[in-house]
Chain A
Amino acid sequence: MKLRPGQKLHSAVCDAQVVVVKAPGADVEIGCGGAPLLDDGESDAAATLDASLGDGPLLGKRYADDDLGLELLCTRAGTGALTVDGRPLQLKGAKPLPSSD
Chain B
Amino acid sequence: MNLLLLLDMVAAGRGDEVAVQAGDDRLTAGELLTSAWTGAEVAAGAPALAFVGTNGLAFPIGLFAAAAAGVPFVPLNYRLSHDQLGALLAPLGAGTLVVAEGEAAASLAARGHRVVDAAEFVATARAGGATGDVPADGEGPAVLLYTSGTTSAPKAAVLRHRHLTSYVIGTVEFAGAGPGEAVLVSVPPYHVAGLANLLSNLYLGRRIVYLAQFDAGAWVDAVRSERITNAMVVPTMLARICDVLDADAGGLPSLRALSYGGARTPATVLQHVMALLPEVDLTNAYGLTETSSTIAVLGPDDHRAARDGDPVATARLSSAGRVLPTVEIEVRGGLGEPLPAGEVGEIWVRGEQVSGEYAGREAPIDAAGWFPTRDRGRLDADGYLFIEGRSDDTIIRGGENIAPAEIEEVLLQHPDVAQCAVVGVPDDEWGQRIAAVVVLRPGAAVGADEVRAFARRSLRGAKTPDVVTFAEALPFTETGKLLRRVVQADLLATS
A→B interface (CB under 8 Å):
5-6, 8, 19, 21, 40, 59-62, 73, 75-76, 94-95, 97-101
With a CB–CB cut-off of 8 A, which chain A residues contact B173?
Answer: 60, 94-95
Task: State whether the Cβ of B383 lies closer than 8 Å to any Cβ in chain A.
Answer: no
Task: State whether the Cβ of B55 lies closer than 8 Å to any Cβ in chain A.
Answer: no
Choose among A40, A73, A98, A99 the residue that contacts B169 (Cβ–Cβ < 8 A): A73
Tell me the minimal C-beta distance from B83 to chain A in angstroms. Answer: 33
Task: State whether the Cβ of B174 lies closer than 8 Å to any Cβ in chain A.
Answer: yes
Q: How far is the CA of A98 from the CA of B136 in the complex (A)?
A: 30
Q: How far is the CA of A41 from the CA of B204 in the complex (A)?
A: 30
Are the C-beta atoms of A100 and B9 separated by less than 8 Å? no
Q: How far is the CA of A5 from the CA of B353 in the complex (A)?
A: 13
Task: State whether the Cβ of B171 lies closer than 8 Å to any Cβ in chain A.
Answer: yes
Are the C-beta atoms of A6 and B162 separated by less than 8 Å? yes
Task: State whether the Cβ of B175 lies closer than 8 Å to any Cβ in chain A.
Answer: yes
User: How many chain B residues touch the partner (CB < 8 A)?
Assistant: 42
Task: State whether the Cβ of B197 lies closer than 8 Å to any Cβ in chain A.
Answer: yes
Which one of B109-117, B294-302, B401-409 is at the interface? B294-302
Chain A: which residue is nearest B161 at the CB level? A6
Q: How far is the CA of A62 from the CA of B12 in the complex (A)?
A: 16
Cβ proximity bits B204-244 to A, threshold 8 Å, 1 near / 0 not: 10000000000000000000000000101000000000000
Are the C-beta atoms of B285 and A100 separated by less than 8 Å? yes
Contact of A99 with B138 at beta-carbon distance under 8 Å, contacts A75-B5, A94-B173 already known:
no
Are the C-beta atoms of A101 and B232 separated by less than 8 Å? yes
Choose among A8, A60, A95, A98 the residue that contacts B325 (Cβ–Cβ < 8 A): A95
With a CB–CB cut-off of 8 A, which chain A residues contact B297?
Answer: 97-98, 100
Task: State whether the Cβ of B289 lies closer than 8 Å to any Cβ in chain A.
Answer: no
Task: State whether the Cβ of B35 lies closer than 8 Å to any Cβ in chain A.
Answer: no
Chain A: which residue is nearest B286 at the CB level? A100
Are the C-beta atoms of A59 and B9 separated by less than 8 Å? yes
Tell me the minimal C-beta distance from A47 to chain B in angstroms. Answer: 22
Task: State whether the Cβ of B72 lies closer than 8 Å to any Cβ in chain A.
Answer: no
Are the C-beta atoms of A99 and B283 separated by less than 8 Å? yes
Task: State whether the Cβ of B101 lies closer than 8 Å to any Cβ in chain A.
Answer: no
With a CB–CB cut-off of 8 A, which chain A residues contact B5?
Answer: 19, 75
Task: State whether the Cβ of B13 lies closer than 8 Å to any Cβ in chain A.
Answer: yes
With a CB–CB cut-off of 8 A, which chain A residues contact B281?
Answer: 98
Cβ proximity bits B4-17 to A, threshold 8 Å, 1 near / 0 not: 01001100110000
Choose among B136, B197, B200 the residue that contacts A8 (Cβ–Cβ < 8 A): B136
Interchain residue pairs with CB less than 8 A apart (30) = A5-B162, A6-B1, A6-B139, A8-B136, A19-B1, A59-B13, A59-B174, A60-B9, A60-B173, A73-B169, A75-B8, A94-B176, A95-B171, A97-B171, A97-B297, A97-B324, A97-B325, A98-B257, A98-B297, A98-B299, A99-B204, A99-B257, A99-B283, A100-B232, A100-B261, A100-B285, A100-B287, A100-B293, A101-B196, A101-B201
Chain A: which residue is nearest B196 at the CB level? A101
Contact of A97 with B174 at beta-carbon distance under 8 Å, contacts A6-B162, A75-B5 already known:
no
Complex interface residues of chain B between 269 and 285 (CB less than 8 A to chain A): 281, 283, 285
Are the C-beta atoms of A100 and B294 separated by less than 8 Å? yes
With a CB–CB cut-off of 8 A, which chain B residues contact A5?
Answer: 162, 352
Q: How far is the CA of A59 from the CA of B205 in the complex (A)?
A: 13
With a CB–CB cut-off of 8 A, which chain A residues contact B201?
Answer: 101
Are the C-beta atoms of A61 and B174 separated by less than 8 Å? yes
Task: State whether the Cβ of B464 lies closer than 8 Å to any Cβ in chain A.
Answer: no
Q: How far is the CA of A35 from the CA of B138 in the complex (A)?
A: 27
With a CB–CB cut-off of 8 A, which chain A residues contact B283?
Answer: 98-100
Task: State whether the Cβ of B446 lies closer than 8 Å to any Cβ in chain A.
Answer: no
Tell me the minimal C-beta distance from B194 to chain A in angstroms. Answer: 10
A-B contacts besides A99-B200, A100-B261, A101-B199, 18 pairs, CB < 8 Å: A6-B139, A8-B136, A19-B5, A21-B169, A40-B136, A60-B9, A60-B173, A60-B175, A61-B174, A62-B169, A76-B9, A94-B176, A97-B297, A97-B325, A99-B172, A99-B230, A100-B293, A101-B196
Cβ proximity bits B338-375 to A, threshold 8 Å, 1 near / 0 not: 00000000000000100000000000000000000000
Q: How far is the CA of A65 from the CA of B425 in the complex (A)?
A: 56
Choose among A40, A60, A61, A101 the residue that contacts B197 (Cβ–Cβ < 8 A): A101
